[in-house]
Amino acid sequence: MDAATNYDAVSLHSDGPHSYFNRSCVSVNTSRDSKSTGEIITRFEFDIACVSKKLTNLNFLSMHVEIKESDFEAFVSDMDPDLVTKTLEYALLSGFLDSEVKLLEAYISDLQIEIVKVMESLFSRKHFGESLTGMLDMLCDSEESLEQSLEQVLEIKAQSANFEKNLLRLSGGEDYTESLNNIDQVELNDKMKINMQIAEHQRHVLRMLDKYLEGEIDLEKRVSELTQIESTLTMRLRLLEQEVVYVEEEAEMTLEKFYETDHTSELLMETSKALVNKIQTESMEDRCILLSESNADLKKELNLVKGKVKMLETYLHQMKETKKATIRNINHCSKFILDLVMQMTLERERLQEQIFSLKQENKIFINHLKKTDEDPAVKDSYGDKASSNDDFTTERTQALSSNSEVAYLLLAVLLSLSNGIGFNAEKSCNVTARDIDARQLKTKDILLSLFILIIPLFGVLLYQLQRLHFIIFPIWISDLFIFRRIDMADQQKLTRIGLAGLAVMGQNLALNIAEKGFPISVYNRSTSKVDETVERAEKEGNLPVFGFHDPESFVNSIQKPRVIIMLVKAGAPVDQTIKTLSQYMEKGDCIIDGGNEWYENTERREKAMAELGLLYLGMGVSGGEEGARNGPSMMPGGSIEAYKYIEDIVLKVAAQVPDSGPCVTYIGEGGSGNFVKMVHNGIEYGDMQLISEAYDVLRSVGKLSNEELHEVFSEWNKGELQSFLIEITADIFGIKDDKGDGYLVDKVLDKTGMKGTGKWTVQQAADLSIAAPTIAASLDSRFLSGLKDERVEAAKVFKSGGFDDILADQQVDKEKLINDVRQALYAAKICSYAQGMNLIRAKSNEKGWNLKLGELARIWKGGCIIRAIFLDRIKQAYDRNPELANLLVDPEFAKEMVERQSAWRRVVCLAINSGISTPGMSSSLAYFDTYRRERLPANLVQAQRDYFGAHTYERTDVPGSFHTEWFKLAKQANTSSL
């Protein structure tokens, strides 16, 4: 029975009897012509795999027969009583091996014939193209495998023949014959029957194995079909994922439209409520009475205006007649004066001639006097001359009187004109020498008279016209002045600026602007917010804040050019608010978005507003509720003309930092203001994450209480970590719970919210290929914090496996730990700021904004959330080198990073060993280590990319791009090693 058992073991390692090969051959010959070439090749692969497995089993059987042969020889030499049994067992195994070898040989021959036929068929199908080459290669490989298998079959066949020869040799010996004669014939027959039963049983087992093999082959086929189905389902799944993405996008668009519709419906509801209230409060009769009264008043005013118009027309006609008469009088006077001037000129010439003749006569008279003294006869002649001189003196006196009369006449004309009295030339000619103080006229008197004549002539004309104007003005222009005074009064009531959107930030910013002396109009979709803001303004010092419940009156209440700041939720609400306000605005007016808006939306809106003739500005406002009220950091970007409209306001409203000035500056064109504010918020994400990790290490590993944490952070706020976030963190640790025992911070749910600016920052960093691991880690931490329920269940699962929140309690020196965490926090914060600054510079270069990083650091020194003392040093670093590649390589910061990196590593290692996640500090340290190393393992990654995707690579020793056939080289190397 041992032989039978061994034979069963060998049979169980065999894949089946010859019935399988007969079936397979028939299947190949009858069905392959109806299948596609790909299916035939797949079938060949299955058949070759079966042949290989059969060969393996035959080798095992051959080895077993060889063992039996050795045993048989030993039995023959020892004349063992079981010789006949062993002989039959050996003969049976040897015969079975020989039959199986023959069947396998025939099957391999059939497969070779089929391969040749398929190859001939493929050669006749040239339309296959590139796929034909692949199929032929696979068939050639199959043919080579069959040839190798056939060689192994021939070797087993030769070995089987040797087994047969040895059986005949051993069974034909004298010892064997004698043993047969000595054995009882009955016993021999019984053993023969038993052996025949065993053989039949083994045949049954082999048939069962044959069925099992058929099932296995069917299973392999099924697996192949399932693989194809799986690939098909995978493709369908990808298509479904794409459809899901499209559906999500459509859902977002639908949601935005829903928000717009909701906003519009609210506006309509408010408008309808206002109309209903008006209808309820005012009856139609009251309206008719008011209209009738108004009409009566208007009629009265119209009658008055008509009467005034008639009076003005009458008086205007009179003034025209007076003006004509005055012009005629002036013309007469001018003509008369010209005649007088001519007369005076002639008189002057005549006087000059007389004076000249008198001088000659005086000389002669003097000579006569001298001669008189000498000769008495001359004295007589002198008496005659004296009488003639008396005549001359009389004539001269008459001339002087005539000239005096002319001068007087001139004065009379001027006086009559200056007094507005009509001049009568005939009456004026009766002037005599007695009417004036007779004087001797000289040349200067005449010139003075001419000067007096010419200058007052123009004065008279102006005086007469002015007199006419003063007479008309009180009657004709009085109403105009009344209306002008009304317009000036209304103009004085107009506010300097407007603000729409009165949530927390909007209210506080409006009060801040009003407190700085700028009257402001406010408007909100919900009227209760308007009333609330106005009440706050009254309580906080009667600030000039004026509320309006409808957009039209709100816009009209602002002086031109109008400037309106919006502080509403980003996205569709901004577009809706712009649409509501812009319909009442005029060209040259300005809209400013002060929310956290996506910068591309700002650029889109700026272009749309420009088409309407309006200016647009995107202004980031940082500082939260407290900053908006007392002085925020402001980052306006967009139209420079729009910034000029509000420059005087924002310079006073922004936070004021000593030795640095107001925390506001014009950022640049387009959406630069919103982009800078977005990155500011990304840095804020990283900063807050790092502080929370420092808190976790100190509390979980250092076991610091809230009182100790309050003292530690308060102390830190006095040194290099001095900042707004450190300050408020210290305050938080000191606030006790007003609804129970303990501190409030311990009752706050560990689930962080967000509004999207951090996600935008990480997306932009990825788009611009800028490493920002600290900011990305902070965003991932917020995502994970939102999985509160999942984390609770996960903690239960791992605690059941022996994992607590803290893996191991470690004994630490508190003072040393606090110092190490302080240094690690400082170094990691520098990395966070460096990443943000690099992102801003990359976008500035892409858009051509020409942003000044040092100036950005300056305006972040006050008012904003990330304000910190080391921002002044960051400004100095960029002032020293505006092209600074990275903040880490600034000499001062580089020195500090080196000094703190040891403590930094100790904190990260301590946290990892304790099972505390510090993604911000760890990623910052990885960023620092990666940036400072000259060579990275990126060469391997690029080699892998070139291996599977032919993406090429660059070399360190030769310039240019290269590609290597890695697969072929690796195959050759493996072949040569074999």
**List of residues 6+ apart from 836 with CB closer than 8 A:** 679, 680, 682, 683, 686, 761, 772, 775
**Rg (alpha carbons) of the chain, rounded to whole number:** 59
Three-class SS state of 518: coil
Confirm if 347 and 406 have CB atoms less than 8 A apart.
yes
Contact 668, 637 (CB under 8 A): yes
| Closest-CA residue to 846 (of 934, 769, 751, 930) | 769
What is the spatial distance between Cα 45 and Cα 57, in angstroms, rounded to a whole number?
A: 19
Q: Which helix (H) or strand (E) covers residue 961, if one does?
A: strand 961-962
Partnered with residue 868 across adjacent β-strands are: 723
CB 908 within 8 A of CB 701: no
Enclosing H/E stretch for 564 = strand 563-566
Q: For tokens 């949601």, what's the residue?
A: 255
Two tokens, residue 233? 């389902």
- DSSP run (H or E) holding 953: strand 953-954
Q: What is the DSSP letter of 636?
A: E
Helix locations, 848-918, DSSP H: 853-859, 871-880, 891-914
Q: Name every residue whose Cβ is closer than 8 Å to that of residue 966 and which is 6 or more positions away in sequence.
A: 943, 946, 947
Helix (H), strand (E) at residue 638: strand 633-638
Phi, psi of 284 (to 5 degrees): -70, -35
Catalytic residue among 677, 843, 861, 875: 677
Distance CA 146, CA 142 (A): 6
Given the residues 515, 684, 693, 896, the one annotated as active site: 684
User: How many Å apart are CA 917 and CA 911, to the nearest integer?
Assistant: 7
β partners of residue 635? 620
Q: What DSSP state is assigned to residue 735?
A: P
Tokens in use for 310?
Answer: 């008639």
Q: Is residue 499 a contact partner of residue 510, using CB atoms and an 8 Å limit?
A: yes
Q: Tell which residue, 884, 886, 882, 862, has the closest CA to residue 872.
A: 862
| CB 607 within 8 Å of CB 581 | no
- Neighbouring C-beta atoms of residue 49, cutoff 10 Å: 13
Among residues 743, 740, 738, which one has the least CA distance to residue 695? 743
Distance CA 743, CA 705 (A): 10
Write out the H or E segment, with its range, that includes residue 593. Answer: strand 590-593
Contacts of 424 (CB under 8 A, 6+ apart): none
CA distance 144 to 119: 14
Question: Is 260 an annotated catalytic residue?
Answer: no
What does the CA dihedral 6, 8, 14, 16 come to, rounded to 10 degrees?
150
Known catalytic residue: 552?
no
- Prior bond of 561 cis (ω within 30°): yes
For residue 304, what are the contacts with CB-CB under 8 A and spacing of at least 6?
A: none
Cβ neighbours of 662 (radius 10 Å): 20
Residue 443: CB atoms within 10 A of its CB come to 10
d(CA 419, CA 436): 20
Is beta strand 497-500 parallel, antiparallel or unpaired with respect to 563-566?
Answer: parallel
Q: Write out the two tokens for 50.
A: 């079966």
The pair of three-digit structure tokens given for residue 580, joined into one six-digit string: 């509501």
**961, β-bridge pairs:** 954
> What positions carry a catalytic annotation?
677, 684
